[in-house]
Amino acid sequence: MDVSIIIINYKSATLTVNCISSIKKFTQDVTYEVIVVDNDSQDTSENIVKSVHPEIVWVASTYNSGFSRGNNQGMEVAKGNYFLLLNADTLLFDNSIFKAWQKLEANPDISAIGGIQVTADLVKMPYFRNRNEFLKFLIIAPNSLNKYLEKIFPEPQFEDPNQSELCCGAFMLISRKTIEKAGKMDEDFFMYAEDFEWAGRLRKVGKICCFEEIKFIHLEKDSPFRRTNISPINRFGTQMQVSNLLWIRKEYGLAFYLLLIFHYTSLATFFYLWKISVNISKLRNPFFELRSQKIFALKTLVFLKFFWKTVFKVKGFYKIEANDNIDLRFR
C-alpha cells in the first residue's frame, strides 16, 4: 500500500463523501486506502459515508478528539508507507496525491510535502509558509512599526525555491519512516497550530516543501471555532490563539510566551482607555461602542485561563470550554 489517506469527520458527512469522491475520480498510478476518523459526530455520518464509499476504513472516536489525536488514531490503523492528512472540506481536481507521492519517493531529503490550497474558483488562498511571517501576525502594532518588525523577523532564505518552514495541515504527505523519527502529532493540541508544532520536528528530519503543481481546493467549512468580528485588533479566534500560544511556548520557550501574554493583557487595558478617551473628547457617553474592546478583553481572559498550564508545559488537552468560545458568543 503506497498511501493511507486520513480524513477527520465531525458532523461533515456530505463534505467527507464529496472529498472521497474527488480522490477516486482524480487519483491514479498510486495505491491507497481511505481512513475516516469520526470524532464522535453523534449523527448518521457513518451510514451516509459508507453508503457511498463502503470500502473505507471507519474509525470511531468516543469523543471530539480534535485534529492531532484524530489523525494519530488514523495512523495507528494505517497500512500505507506514506500518510496523507486531508481535510474533509477539501476536493481534488487533478492527480495531486500521485504528484506528492512521486516527489517524496524521488527526494529522500524531503520530510513532508504540503499542497497549495485554492478556492473553488482555483484562486490561490493565503497561508503562512514561514514562522517569522506568522510571528509578525501575532504582534498587534501600528502599521508604522511594520518596518521594524520586518527587521526583527526577516524572511528566511532557502536554496530550494520550493522549501518552506510550514505547510498547510489540510493536505500534508509524510512517510511512515519520517514519522517514526519525528513522532506523531502533539496531542496537547485540540485544533489549530498542531501542524506548526509538527513542522518543527519534521524540519529536523528533512526539508518541508510546497510545490506549485500540487494543489487542492479548500472549501473551509463553517466551524464553531472560526474567528468572527475580524479587525486589526480582533484578528485571532479564541481556540486558535490558545493553540498558537501553546505552540509559541513549545517552539520558542518561556520568555517569548510571557512577552506575548504581557503584550495582549496590556493592550486589553489600553484599548479600553483609548476608546473611552475618544468618546469623552467627542462628548459622547464614555462607554459608547466598546464591543470590540470587550471581545478582545474576554479573549485575553480565556488565554490567561491556560497561563500556568502553558508556563509549566503541563500535558493535557488545550481545548476551550463552550462558554469560553467568545467568537461564537458574539456572532
Between these two residues, 330 and 152, which has the higher pLDDT value?
Answer: 152
Overall average pLDDT of the 124-150 stretch: 92
325, part of any domain:
yes
pLDDT in tens, 227-239: 777 778 888 999 9
Same domain, residue pair 246 and 191: no
pLDDT for the residue numbered 224:
67
Residue 249 and residue 298 share a domain: yes
Model confidence, pTM: 0.95
The answer to the question of residue 91 being in a domain is yes
**Per-residue exposure over 254-267, b if at least 16 CB sit within 10 Å of its own CB, e if not:** eeebeebbeebbeb
Give the end of a domain, one of 158, 183, 218.
218
Q: Is residue 293 part of a domain?
A: yes
Span 116-134, average pLDDT:
94
What pLDDT digit, counting tens, does each position of 153-203 carry?
999 999 999 999 999 999 999 999 999 999 999 999 999 999 999 999 999
Average pLDDT over residues 38-56: 97
| Cα 199 from Cα 85, distance rounded (Å) | 13
Beta-carbon contacts of 108 under 8 Å, excluding residues fewer than 6 positions away, are: 206
* 149-158 own/partner pairs: CB under 8 Å, 24+ apart: 155/130, 156/130, 156/131, 156/132
- What pLDDT score does 71 carry? 98
State the total domains in the chain: 2
What is the pLDDT of the chain when averaged over all its residues?
95
Expressed as residue numbers, the domain containing 99 is 3-127+166-218
pLDDT digit string, tens, across residues 211-226: 999 999 999 766 666 6
What average pLDDT does this structure show over 251-267?
A: 97
Q: Is residue 103 a part of any domain in this protein?
A: yes
* Final residue in a domain of this structure, among 183, 218, 253: 218
Mean pLDDT throughout 306-315?
98
The residue out of 218, 251, 281 marking a domain boundary is: 218
Does residue 298 have a pLDDT over 80?
A: yes
Query: Can you give the pLDDT at residue 225?
Result: 62
**Do both 243 and 214 map to the same domain?**
no
Residue 144 lies in a domain: no
Residue 97 has pLDDT above 70, yes or no: yes
Q: Are 268 and 298 in contact (CB under 8 A)?
A: no
Q: Is residue 100 part of a domain?
A: yes
Same domain, 195 and 318: no
Q: Are residues 243 and 179 in the same domain?
A: no
Residues 120 and 49 in one domain: yes
276 with 210, same domain: the answer is: no
Residues 78-83 have a mean pLDDT of: 98
pLDDT at 231: 79
- 186 & 297 share domain: no
Q: Do 110 and 211 reside in the same domain of the chain?
A: yes
Same-domain check for residues 198 and 264: no
Average pLDDT over residues 58-65: 96
pLDDT surpasses 70 at 288: yes
Chain centroid to Cα 140, Å, comes to 20
**CATH no. for residue 84?**
3.90.550.10
User: What is the 3 state secondary structure string of the chain?
Assistant: CCEEEEEEECCCHHHHHHHHHHHHHHCCCCCEEEEEEECCCCCCHHHHHHHHCCCCEEEECCCCCHHHHHHHHHHHHCCCCEEEEECCCEECCCCHHHHHHHHHHHCCCEEEEEEEEECCCCCECCCCCCHHHHHHHHCCCCHHHHHHHHHHCCCCCCCCCCEECCCCCCEEEEEHHHHHHHCCCCCCECCCCHHHHHHHHHCCCCEEEEEEEEEEEECCCCCCCCCCCCCCCCCCCHHHHHHHHHHHHHHHCHHHHHHHHHHHHHHHHHHHHHHHHHHHHCCCCCCCCCHHHHHHHHHHHHHHHCHHHHHCCCCCCECCCHHHCHHHHCC
pLDDT of residue 68: 98
Residue 181 shares a structural domain with residue 248: no
263 and 197 together in one domain: no
Please indicate, yes or no, if residue 258 is contained in any of the structural domains: yes
Is 316 within the bounds of a domain? yes
Kindly report, residue by residue over 13-29, the tens digit of the pLDDT: 999 999 999 999 999 99
